[in-house]
Amino acid sequence: MILERFVDNMKLTEKYSERGFSLVEVTVAMAIAAVAVVSILGLLPQGLETMREAGDEAIKARIHQQILNEIQMTPFKAKQTDSPIEDYNGLELFYDQQGEELETSDEGSFEHIYSARVTIPKSGDSFPNSVTGESEGSKKFDGMRFAEKADVNEYIRPVIVEVAAVGGIGKNFEWDEDKYRPLISVYQTYVVQMGNNLDPKTP
Q: What tens-digit pLDDT sequence spans the chain (203 residues)?
A: 565 655 555 555 555 555 566 778 888 888 888 888 887 877 777 777 778 788 888 999 999 999 999 888 888 877 767 788 888 888 988 888 888 888 764 545 456 788 899 988 877 777 787 776 665 555 667 666 555 555 667 778 888 999 988 877 766 788 888 888 888 889 988 888 776 555 545 44
Residue-by-residue DSSP string for 108-149: GGS--SEEEEEE-PPTTPBPPHHHHSSSTTSSB---B-SSTT
> Model-level pTM?
0.66
What per-residue confidence (pLDDT) applies to 15? Answer: 52
Are residues 67 and 92 in contact, defined by beta-carbon separation less than 8 angstroms? no
Nearest to 85 by CA among 62, 50, 119: 119
Nearest to 166 by CA among 94, 90, 59, 67: 94
Dihedrals phi, psi of 89, to nearest 5 degrees: -65, 120
